[in-house]
Chain A
Amino acid sequence: MSLDKRENSVGTVSAEKILIDKPLTLACGFVLPSHELMVETYGTLNADNSNAILICHALSGNHHAAGYYEGDEKPGWWDSYIGPGKPMDTNRFFIVSLTNIGSCFGSTGPTTINPETGKVWGADFPALRARDWVESQKLLMEQLGIDCWAAVIGGSLGGMQAMRWALEYPDKLANSIVIASSMKLSAQNIAFNEIARRAIKSDPDFHDGNYLHHNTLPKHGLALARMIGHVTYLSDELMGQKFGRELRSGTFLQGEAAPIEFQIESYLNYQGDKFSSGFDANSYILITKMLDYFDLSREYQNNSVGAFSHAKCDFLVVSFSSDWRFSPERSREITDALIAAGKNVSYAEIESDLGHDAFLLPNPRYEKVLGNYLSRVADKFEAASKGAAK
């Protein structure tokens, strides 16, 4: 492992399992009497508990957002943006990253034991909405002794949580940072999610979601679901640049019978297989459904301006030019509604050919905008802390 990569890293980290021993009523009506959350934190909470950032992960994210696990060479999924001197500067902020309920990295979800039955939840895990994640995060916040987030930040589904926070708990966050997100999914977006779910459900090993009881995994279906998703997270340009029509094996020569395999095929198969051995199929179904359900303004007479008028925090909205799954247009809708609602908002459309995945990857302009915004957030609470100390 190169040491350079670890420069400005939060270093070796470990996760903690936190028991939330309070009932959580889900949007579907189901009550979880208690639940567990896998949590990582980076940086130090300041004396007046005012420097905390909540990271909201997206479909396949988890609590390991930054730093390295002992003996692991791969950093957390948002390591480019979290660390000393990085946009989410751990010298100034205390950063909280968790795996939300319903996912499959140790927090309560389809792969954990249902205390009622003593068996894994599997397909019986209740349906979730983005607001359920916000409610669970709110309970975690109380347990950590944080009264107000300096910022709630997320990309994609994470951005939906950041927006929901602003409406549900307007006094509990100072800034909402919404990256590559949308107030609701388009029909095309829902369509892609349904194809992914169908791929999983068509796997003979799926057993109506009770595959763990059958000691099997619908790996084939989940890999297929991920391959479809993966294509939509990249841009045509990027795929062209990265893979083009390069062959991995075989030849176009006439008279040769060996089958050809394009690089893109091999890459996608590899990504699908890797994902299907690390993610849970029920979680994938649950969380894609959650994305489909999300509609920021549904309970506000479908009026996004009316919805955002409940918010009290400031907003930063960021999109990426080649993202067609959560296109810049969707982010502009968020921005326009926020302006009409009279909220403080800045919007940047970052030039990138990396598609939807751009929000996870290094990009100097994105780093600068996010860094400048958060630096000002930190200036504010640091000045307030100083004032309070006097």
Chain B
Amino acid sequence: MNQDISFINSWIKPDSRVLDLGCGDGSLLATLTQELNISGYGLEIDPESISQCVAKGVNVIEQDLNNSLHNFPDNSFDTVIMTQALQAMRYPHLVLDEMLRIGSQCVITFPNFGHWRARAYLTLRGRMPVTKQLAYQWYDTPNIHFFTYSDFEALCRERNITVLRKKFIGEHFPDRQLKNLWPNLFADTAVYHLSK
């Protein structure tokens, strides 16, 4: 899922320290380094993605996010990013706590399971949705938690996490027109900027 989230460039301070959890092939960090001169590190476990990061000159650290992130001290980064991976974490709420312990701010994107397409799939077909956004069968998927944008906001409230900004992505008709009006139904991806 390579959505354009270049708007987060304005959420991140130039020359700051950025940690990208589940950085994939390192594209995002490469862009942020080029445009904002950040000092960036990505964590990844996929061997092929790690090789690609290395080829790009992106700092990549082989580390499983489901294991502890204790090797990163408190407030050792300005921004901790996680794109499209929270739903794949064993304990998303604990990962969120860790992100805000390590970074003073965090940027997080996730697929919105409340999107009308997913709802329609489940309601009409009676089967767990397999969509472009959620492209796996239920029995073999890295996405082990399904939650909606509203669920996420409730979790933030519960844990006293401040939502600095949020943005909704939905490119197709009628999402593009309606996503800001009714995000929980029309945004397929939510992007949050959080702080403690």
Contacts of A345 in B (CB 8 A): 41, 59, 61
Q: With contacts A346-B59, A347-B61 known, is A339 near B41, CB below 8 A?
A: yes
Q: Count of A-B contacts with CB under 8 A?
A: 53
| Cα A99 to Cα B61 with chains together (Å) | 32
Q: With contacts A346-B53, A372-B54, A376-B54 known, is A340 near B76, CB below 8 A?
A: yes
Q: Does A23 contact B (CB under 8 A)?
A: no
When the two chains form their complex, are residues A375 and B55 in contact, meaning their CB atoms are under 8 A apart? yes
| Cα A135 to Cα B41 with chains together (Å) | 32
When the two chains form their complex, are residues B62 and A348 in contact, meaning their CB atoms are under 8 A apart? yes
Contacts of A351 in B (CB 8 A): 47
With CB as the reference atom, state the residue of chain A lying closest to B58: A346
Q: Does B51 contact A (CB under 8 A)?
A: yes
| Cα A365 to Cα B47 with chains together (Å) | 7
When the two chains form their complex, are residues B57 and A376 in contact, meaning their CB atoms are under 8 A apart? yes
Partner of B51, one of A339, A349, A369: A369
Name the interface residues of A281-329: CB closer than 8 Å to any CB of B.
Answer: 316
Q: Does B39 contact A (CB under 8 A)?
A: yes
Chain A nearest CB, measured from B168 CB (Å): 33
Partner of A336, one of B52, B62, B71: B71
Count how many chain B residues have C-beta atoms less than 8 Å from C-beta atoms of the other chain: 22
Contacts of B107 in A (CB 8 A): none
When the two chains form their complex, are residues A372 and B76 in contact, meaning their CB atoms are under 8 A apart? no
| Cα A175 to Cα B50 with chains together (Å) | 18
Q: Does B73 contact A (CB under 8 A)?
A: yes
With CB as the reference atom, state the residue of chain B lying closest to A318: B62
Q: Does B82 contact A (CB under 8 A)?
A: no
Q: Does B32 contact A (CB under 8 A)?
A: no
Contacts of A347 in B (CB 8 A): 60-63
Q: Does A342 contact B (CB under 8 A)?
A: yes
| Cα A373 to Cα B60 with chains together (Å) | 11
Q: Does A74 contact B (CB under 8 A)?
A: no
Contacts of B47 in A (CB 8 A): 348, 351, 365
| Cα A376 to Cα B57 with chains together (Å) | 7
When the two chains form their complex, are residues A346 and B55 in contact, meaning their CB atoms are under 8 A apart? no
Chain A nearest CB, measured from B123 CB (Å): 43
Give the interface centre of A345, A351, A369 by most chain B CB atoms within 10 Å: A369
When the two chains form their complex, are residues B50 and A348 in contact, meaning their CB atoms are under 8 A apart? yes
Chain A nearest CB, measured from B25 CB (Å): 12
A-B contact pairs, 11 of them (CB 8 A): A339-B76, A342-B39, A345-B59, A346-B53, A346-B54, A347-B61, A347-B63, A348-B54, A349-B62, A365-B51, A372-B55
B interface residues (Cβ-Cβ under 8 A, vs A)? 17, 39, 41, 47, 50-63, 71-73, 76
A interface residues (Cβ-Cβ under 8 A, vs B)? 316, 332, 335-336, 339-340, 342, 344-349, 351, 365, 368-369, 372-373, 375-376
